[in-house]
Amino acid sequence: MKHYIDFHEDVGIEELNYLLDIAADMKAKVKTGIEHHYLKGKTLAMIFTKSSTRTRVSFEVGMYQLGGHALYLSNDAIQIGRGETIHDTAKVLSGMVDGIMIRTFSHQDVVDLAKYGSIPVINGLTDDQHPTQMLADLLTIKEVKGDLKGLKLAYIGDGNNVANSLLQACAKAGMDIAVASPKDYTCPQKYVDQALEDAAVTGSKVLMTTDPYEAAKDADVLYADTWTSMGQEEEKAKRVEIFKDYQINKDLFSVADKDAIFLHCLPAYRGYEVTEDIIDGPRSYVFQEAENRLHAHKAILVNCYLNS
């Protein structure tokens, strides 16, 4: 069974290049009006216990462009929101659809869906990881920079699910990665160790620091995410104070490479993790990055469905 749950475990170093090539090919087909119904007649159940714009639209449109069909299942519209077990949900959906994409809080719920079901499971986001975003990020960087290996990405901010997955993805791609977070908000050591494991193979470097300027020095990509993730709304005032020195702005860009670009997985909060002049300026590729979610997710779907 081919799942896409954990970037470190489910995406091989060579497979990553294959996925990026598929995504780029299907993007080109869309731009030139060429149909690519690789998943004709296939169905995807999309479970959302966290709200979404990009994940929902990209997977739903992606299945349509691939010739398949997606079903949106919100938390309050299915029985899992009323206490039905993950085990039962996995068994039921396995008999009715061809795959599951889930965007939820608990990473273990995604693991259990794959364990008890008999169809591919795709992790659309959990509190721990955001692996589908990574393929879109790498595709965008490759489009802009021409290659990935040897580049440096600096992530500035909370050591959250996006930061965890960036550690995994950059190391797989042979990119140097530097993560700057306040001392008590850094990534769990598990993800640092995974990155170091792959970095030893690909030749990339991993830096964890509390100094955003150290992280951003000579970086080719500066990356931000919200300081307050879903479920942390009550901490917003506290987090704004803690992260106030972790904003991506002109001063931080001044120590990066002269051709450095800005990425953000969105939604973005201007004036907090990034200034308006940066995210809306010529160095920002956030909307190209968002569009690439569609094509990256199609690559994931094709890879999972056709290898299961």
Tell me the C-alpha distance between 27 and 78, whole Å.
33
- Beta-carbon contacts of residue 258 (< 8 Å; ≥ 6 apart): none
Active site residue 128: no
What are the C-alpha distances in Å from 8 to residues 17, 159, 176? 14, 17, 16
Q: Which of 3, 54, 56, 130 is catalytic?
A: 130
Beta strands in 90-188 (DSSP E): 100-103, 121-125, 152-156, 176-180
Q: Tell me, yes or no, if 280 is annotated catalytic.
A: no
Identify any residues that bridge with 228 across adjacent strands, giving them in sequence order: none
241-255 per-residue burial string, b: 16 or more CB within 10 A, e: under 16: ebbeebbbeeebbeb
Longest dimension (CA), the chain: 55
Q: Pick the catalytic residue: 170, 187, 265, 304?
A: 265
- How far apart CA 154 and CA 83 sit, in angstroms, is 41
Active site residue 54: no
Q: Is 189 a catalytic residue?
A: no
Reduce the DSSP state of residue 264 to 3 states and report it.
Answer: strand
Q: How far apart are CA 13 and CA 308, in angstroms?
A: 20
Nearest residue to 221 (alpha-carbon basis) of 150, 126, 307:
150
Active-site residue, from 225, 264, 297, 304: 225
Q: Is 3 a catalytic residue?
A: no
Q: Exactly one of 3, 54, 103, 297 is catalytic; which is it?
A: 103
- Number of CB atoms found within 10 A of residue 25's CB: 14
Residue of 104, 152, 112 whose CA lies nearest to 129? 104
Question: Which tokens hold the place of 287?
Answer: 């909307």
Which of 303, 308, 294 has its CA nearest to residue 27? 294
Is 293 labeled as catalytic in the residue annotation? yes
Peptide bond into 267 cis (omega under 30): yes
Active site members: 103, 130, 133, 225, 265, 293
